[in-house]
Structure 1
Amino acid sequence: MIACTRDCYDTCVFNEEYQPLKDEPTFGFTCSRGRTDLRRNEMNRVDSAYLEGKQVDLRQAISLIARKMREVKPEEILHVEYDGNQGLLTWYYPARLWNLIGAFSTDYSICSLEGHEGIKAHYGTSMGALPEDMEGFSSVAFWGSEAVFSFIHGWRMFKDKYKITIDVRMSETAKRSEKAYVIRPGSDAHLAIALMKIFLEQGYAKPDLVDLELLRRRLDLFDMDYLLNAVNLEEDQVRELADLYAYYRPLTVIGFAIGRSWNGGHSAGLISLLPAVLGIKRGFYYSNSGGWGIDFQYLRGTHFIQPKTIGMGEVGYNLDRFKILFVWNSNPVVTLPGGDRIREAVESGKLFLVVHDPFWSETAKVANVVIPGATFLEKEDVVYSYWHPYLVYNTPIRPKRGVTEVELMRMISKELELSHPLLEEDPWDAVNVAIRKTGITIEELKRKGMVKMKPVTSPGRANVDPFPSPQELDLPRGEVLVFSAHPNYTNSQFTEVYGKREAVIYSGKYEGEGFLEGRGGRIRVKLVKGDLPENVLFVYKSSLLSEGKSINSVLKPPRNRFGGPRLNDEVRIILDPPIRFEPDITGRSHSST
């Protein structure tokens, strides 16, 4: 048995022939990526260690890495890893080495931290509905979620039920829903507050899970006209949505994009409050990763030593603080804001870059040292999902190529002559400790292949506070860049199979070529006019590259209220050639190029 380890809600589970399980949680189908994984596994592989572009012996590469580490201070080393693989032995355990020596780590905030913290502030947990809870709902509200592509089993669960979508554009999920509401970017919190005001006004609100008197006092600070103007919907539309919520009592699915937008944490938190105000227990879903009881801190060794951290959205703009960057399970040149600066720092000799990867990613291609990695199809691991409650023991189904993350960590530790219980603990013993709250043991997991967990936390009565004041909720004034999933890609993965997608910006008013400019710089892009609001610029997360640079390179995201970066930031388009306005013979103006 083996589970897909990618950054995806569904975490599909397969048999030894790599056919999706016909039972839950995969129900016999998977996505276009899962169907091509075996083919991709043989493409674009790193099959040897490389030093400055030349093949070298693995031991020679390890020796050089250790020598470089000895030449710098621990705080001049930064390790970057993320969710390219959700395996407990791939992502978490190897961080022990870097945390122990005192290297810098990231804060793992790039994707979902802001939303998690915003929801936890109200419930004490971000754990929401389980799959079996979802089955009991007769309707769903997809809020900022392109579920039709990024949550295929959740979409299948609701495809024949009443569906509402709230988004900043007419997404594919919105097009396939019974009702859709397109709102101004960053105004999700405003809409949630407007709905709560109507819930109380119309008698829809219930006191079971929320202090309604305290909520009323917080809501009284907001004028309805102000909220409607912020959301850019008519009052009748907002009242219709409130009536639909009261009548259908939908499960509210909150997309990760909410946390990365303006007012992100407050938006996620306030949206999660909507079902509680209506008396619906566990009526939202964001991500359940924090509710299974897996001790990620123990796996990383941060229970022993708290690492120094830097925001993931800030790495590209703080590279002068570091002399060594060690990367695994990630492709930061493409996926981090300002990530192209990693390339520049390496090429100028200011930064020594080590990459451990099974594939020749954009980051691996510019590294000083590249170490071949093994894919999830080639190694043992333990995989969890942030949707379904199954813990899976991955049994290899392909011959191993390269070294695993744990093996590499131990090779470097040995070369550095480091000795510490954190490094010497058997990795399977460490996983056994980390999953003990789930009630599952490694022995049971290896014997059964897949075991269902019970959540150790669950949302109960909700706290009204922290509730924002009107002054805390600001809105973008210009155009906002928004991202969404493409069905054939997981972020920058699967270009081997489906090809690289050049940067195309979809807009409601631009066509041709020009520059996308943000706080971090500008890049040339192709512009395609489509059915989008004038203040929305849309790009697929896989369509990131333009002339060797990533669209993320124009982003220099500020932090949101709960610490996550605001990636859906203000940008602007500069047309090339620019639009010029010239007077015609009547004295009026007309545009020309």
Structure 2
Amino acid sequence: MVHACTRDCYDTCIFDDNHKPIDTFPFNGFTCSRGIADLKRNSLNRVDSVYIEGKLSNIDEALDLIVKEIRKRKKEEILHVDYDGNQGLLTWYYPARLWNVIGAASTDYSICSSEGHEAIKLHYGNSIGALPEDFLKYESFVIWGSELVFSFIHGWNLIRDKYKATIDVRISETAKRSNKYYIVKPGSDVYLAIGIIKRLFERNWADLSLLDEPEELRNYVYSFNDEEIEEATGLDSSKIDELAELYYYRRPLTIIGFALGRSINGGDAISLISLIPALIGMKKGFFYANSQGLGIDFKYLRGLHKYSPSRIVGMAEVGKEIEEGKITFMFVWNSNPLHSLPMSDRIYDAVKEGRLFLVVHDPYWSETAKIANVVLPAPTYLEKEDVVYSYWHNYLVFNKPILPKRGITEVELMRMLAIKLEINDNVIFEDEWLAIGKATGVNITELKTKGFVKLLPRYPEGKVRVKPLPEKFSKPSGNIIVFSSHPNYTNSQFKEVYGNKMVIVYNSEFDGIGYLSTNYGKVKVMFKRDPLIPRGVLFIPKSFLFDLDGKPINSIIGFAKGKYGNTPIINTASVKIIKT
């Protein structure tokens, strides 16, 4: 019997029935501070009953109210918000079938990694890169825009004794533990990628065999002069020379962080960074996220083979659409949008003022659950069966519960609502295990018997496409907010165990209480001076996203998004500091 940690995390650890990580590559018998704490957290802060407007109720009354609220609205006003609080296929993907059958609006699932996926796919066909076994083959690594030591501990374990160069906008913990680090200006990673590619061409170090139009790439990077690149990045030519030499002589694996996709020019940066390994003849010379190259049909799981949403709402724009009255009903599961979405204070205001009817299905009293009109209890991954995939390794895991179930599973709730709505569609009532088998190509009996099986990675054939190449870059101005991971928290999770800490803005100049302000509002924060933070960078651990008055930090982010995968530009610019 095994179960898998379902966190939004590269590692996706597999545990035995005593909740001990299995001693199999790449898990190697250890886990992180969150995996260790899950058994303790499981009994804390739980939603154990049904609540309507803050009062105890029952499931039938809640379902009747939800159905009543759905029926009084146009389908375009109804939005389901779900994401990766739990990475199980039956927790995240399959329940969306109900909402797609109804024809409700859907988000574009862009909040995290979509910008990089789409940028890389332009060149490679899909975004799959190095697998854990490939990590062992490399003797050097470039870590670009990732706090690897906190967010990817098993990947770090495989490379910790090898040569590492980190590129970031601050001296992160990963940078400190690397052999070299290069600190660039926020939004300038795309210029650094251009500078490295240009050096490889200039020194005749390029291997053109993998690219379909290498001369297009050469002409493109030659259109940028060295002074422009140095000014944009803040690095002098010798540092760019060093990185080009590192790529040519050491042939490192490049680990590309999701944070780049949430940054200004991030999609452009990921696009060009992914081309660097191909330019020196390395077929699988990068790692971003492998989930879209494992053959899992996520669209089938969501019922998109037969039904479509009435419209798609960008995750960057949910708060804006609620403010404008375009969304009046929101059903949330497996997500905490008050914590994660831009302009999320608009959700709070709309619920408080009666302009938005909010339903939340969650195991825990998240910030979003606390303000909901209806709250429904859900089990944790320790309490239910599921199938879990990874965006690093290629194991598919049958999650066997080890604790009694508390709450209603997502699949059960979807079908209960369908019955109340008088919907009898096979897309909703198709056996979930049959659907998993169709979507993954895995024999379900074998999966349940063995506990986990390996999926076959699917690498595209043919040459790497050079075009399209980025045409225009933004130039960040003023102070720039930068978010990154914390070792004890997965986004908003684990506050029950490790505490709900005060938001701190680490910066190069100020100590004390003040405000961050943009065109969208202001938030009250504690500033802390840190000599390792460059001037103009405002660093905030992304687990602590509520200000000193309880207002979401994301209230001031706005609704800008990337041009490839529409990922919200969370690492936003033009932020003013107001000292008190």
TM-score (norm 1): 0.95
Q: Does 1:60 align with 2:61?
A: yes
* Whole-angstrom CA distance in 1 between matches of 2:410 and 2:365: 16
* Whole-angstrom CA distance in 2 between matches of 1:252 and 1:353: 42
Q: Is the 8 A contact 1:513 1:575 kept in 2?
A: no
* Whole-angstrom CA distance in 2 between matches of 1:43 and 1:467: 50
* Whole-angstrom CA distance in 1 between matches of 2:90 and 2:126: 25
Match of 1:250 in 2: 252
Q: Matched residue of 1:294: which SS?
A: coil
Q: Matched residue of 1:142: which SS?
A: strand
Q: Is the 8 A contact 1:126 1:459 kept in 2?
A: no
In the TM superposition, residue 460 of structure 1 has moved relative to its aligned partner by 5.4
In the TM superposition, residue 179 of structure 1 has moved relative to its aligned partner by 0.6
Q: Is the 8 A contact 1:373 1:403 kept in 2?
A: yes
* Whole-angstrom CA distance in 2 between matches of 1:280 and 1:322: 47
- After TM superposition, list the pairs within 5 Å mapping 1:147-162 onto structure 2: 147-162=148-163
| Residue type at the aligned position of 1:557 | F
Q: Matched residue of 1:559: which SS?
A: coil
| Residue type at the aligned position of 2:408 | V
In the TM superposition, residue 532 of structure 1 has moved relative to its aligned partner by 1.0
| Residue type at the aligned position of 1:185 | P
Match of 1:15 in 2: 16
Q: Is the 8 A contact 2:515 2:579 kept in 1?
A: yes
Q: 2:579 aligns with which of 571, 576, 579?
A: 576
| Residue type at the aligned position of 1:427 | E
Q: Does 1:488 align with 2:488?
A: yes
- After TM superposition, list the pairs within 5 Å mapping 1:281-296 onto structure 2: 281-296=283-298
* Whole-angstrom CA distance in 1 between matches of 2:445 and 2:262: 39
Q: 2:327 aligns with which of 294, 308, 322?
A: 322
Q: Matched residue of 2:122: which SS?
A: helix
| Residue type at the aligned position of 2:57 | V
* Whole-angstrom CA distance in 1 between matches of 2:513 and 2:541: 17
* Whole-angstrom CA distance in 2 between matches of 1:120 and 1:423: 31
* Whole-angstrom CA distance in 1 between matches of 2:46 and 2:569: 34
Match of 2:96 in 1: 95
Q: Does 1:476 align with 2:476?
A: yes
In the TM superposition, residue 200 of structure 1 has moved relative to its aligned partner by 0.8
Q: Does 1:391 align with 2:391?
A: no
Deviations 1:430-462 (A, max 9, x none): 1111111xxx21111011101011112347521
| Residue type at the aligned position of 1:290 | Q
Match of 2:183 in 1: 182
In the TM superposition, residue 219 of structure 1 has moved relative to its aligned partner by 1.7
In the TM superposition, residue 571 of structure 1 has moved relative to its aligned partner by 3.8
- After TM superposition, list the pairs within 5 Å mapping 1:11-50 onto structure 2: 11-50=12-51
* Whole-angstrom CA distance in 2 between matches of 1:566 and 1:510: 25
In the TM superposition, residue 468 of structure 1 has moved relative to its aligned partner by 1.9
Match of 2:342 in 1: 337
In the TM superposition, residue 248 of structure 1 has moved relative to its aligned partner by 1.1
Match of 2:457 in 1: 455
Q: Does 1:403 align with 2:405?
A: no
* Whole-angstrom CA distance in 2 between matches of 1:449 and 1:126: 27
- Seen in structure 2, the aligned counterparts of structure 1 residues 91 and 167 have a Cα distance that, compared at 3 Å, is same
Greater shift in the superposed pair: 159-168 or 239-248? 239-248
Equivalent pairs, count: 572
Q: Does 1:126 align with 2:131?
A: no
Deviations 1:547-592 (A, max 9, x none): 1111111111312221222111114233332xxxxxxxxxxxxxxx
Q: 1:373 aligns with which of 378, 387, 391?
A: 378
Q: Does 1:357 align with 2:358?
A: no
* Whole-angstrom CA distance in 1 between matches of 2:72 and 2:134: 55
Q: Does 1:514 align with 2:514?
A: yes
In the TM superposition, residue 478 of structure 1 has moved relative to its aligned partner by 1.2
Q: Does 1:464 align with 2:469?
A: no
| Residue type at the aligned position of 1:410 | R
| Residue type at the aligned position of 1:567 | I
Match of 1:306 in 2: 308
Q: Is the 8 A contact 1:557 1:569 kept in 2?
A: no
In the TM superposition, residue 203 of structure 1 has moved relative to its aligned partner by 1.6
- After TM superposition, list the pairs within 5 Å mapping 1:96-115 onto structure 2: 96-115=97-116
In the TM superposition, residue 222 of structure 1 has moved relative to its aligned partner by 1.2
TM-score (norm 2): 0.97
| Residue type at the aligned position of 1:538 | F
In the TM superposition, residue 264 of structure 1 has moved relative to its aligned partner by 1.3
Deviations 1:380-429 (A, max 9, x none): 00000000010000000000000000000001001111111211211111
In the TM superposition, residue 529 of structure 1 has moved relative to its aligned partner by 0.6
In the TM superposition, residue 487 of structure 1 has moved relative to its aligned partner by 0.2
* Whole-angstrom CA distance in 2 between matches of 1:88 and 1:169: 36
In the TM superposition, residue 340 of structure 1 has moved relative to its aligned partner by 1.7
Match of 1:591 in 2: none
Greater shift in the superposed pair: 340-349 or 377-386? 340-349
Match of 2:500 in 1: 500
Q: Is the 8 A contact 2:342 2:568 kept in 1?
A: no
Q: 2:240 aligns with which of 222, 238, 256?
A: 238
Deviations 1:10-43 (A, max 9, x none): 0011000000011123111100000010000000
Q: Is the 8 A contact 2:320 2:559 kept in 1?
A: no
Q: Report the aligned-residue RMSD.
A: 1.1
| Residue type at the aligned position of 2:80 | H
Q: Is the 8 A contact 1:282 1:459 kept in 2?
A: no
Match of 2:570 in 1: 567
Q: Does 1:536 align with 2:537?
A: yes
Runs of 4+ with deviation above 6 angstroms: none
Q: Does 1:441 align with 2:469?
A: no
| Residue type at the aligned position of 1:250 | P
Greater shift in the superposed pair: 290-299 or 473-482? 473-482
* Whole-angstrom CA distance in 1 between matches of 2:128 and 2:249: 25
* Whole-angstrom CA distance in 1 between matches of 2:380 and 2:150: 24
* Whole-angstrom CA distance in 2 between matches of 1:501 and 1:338: 21
Q: Matched residue of 2:481: which SS?
A: strand
| Residue type at the aligned position of 2:495 | T
| Residue type at the aligned position of 1:366 | I
Question: 5+ residue gaps in structure 2?
Answer: none
